[in-house]
Amino acid sequence: MGGTPRRKKKVVHSTQATDDKKLQSSLKKLPVNTIPGIEEVNMIKEDGSVIHFINPKAQASLAANTFAITGHGENKQITEMLPGILNQFGPEGLNQLKTLASSVASTNVGKISPE
């Protein structure tokens, strides 16, 4: 017997809350301004999926060319967002939408059956 007592290994869990706190502390070092009136943010990825934020907190530092969007983001497919997202597309987004529409049309050609 004797000796030193057994010490359990201390496991540190990294949560999203701690990551968010680190981000907020980094943003405090920059002169960021909160942008009011942002109702939704959609980040369109190259694979056709969308990161959709509803009522996010948007902050910007124009001097550092930094923008931060914080809030609950959902991953959705662009087809789920289509009626309301069309006015948010730029010229490159419209080209991506055309290729998406042509690929959907080509996959659905064989599936359509007359009633």
Kindly report, residue by residue over 44-85, the tens digit of the pLDDT: 888 878 899 999 999 998 888 989 998 888 998 877 877 677
Query: Comparing 73 with 99, which gets the higher pLDDT?
Result: 73
pLDDT of residue 21: 83
> What distance in Å separates the CA atoms of residue 106 and residue 99, rounded to the nearest whole number?
11
Tokens 């869990």 -> residue = 13
pLDDT of residue 109: 58
Domains belonging to the chain, first-starting first, are 33-105 (2.20.70.30)
Cβ atoms within 10 A of the Cβ of 47, count? 7
Closest CA to 87 of 34, 31, 40: 40
- pTM above 0.75? no
Kindly indicate the confidence band of residue 36, based on its pLDDT and cuts at 50, 70 and 90.
very high
Could you tell me the two tokens for 89? 């597309």
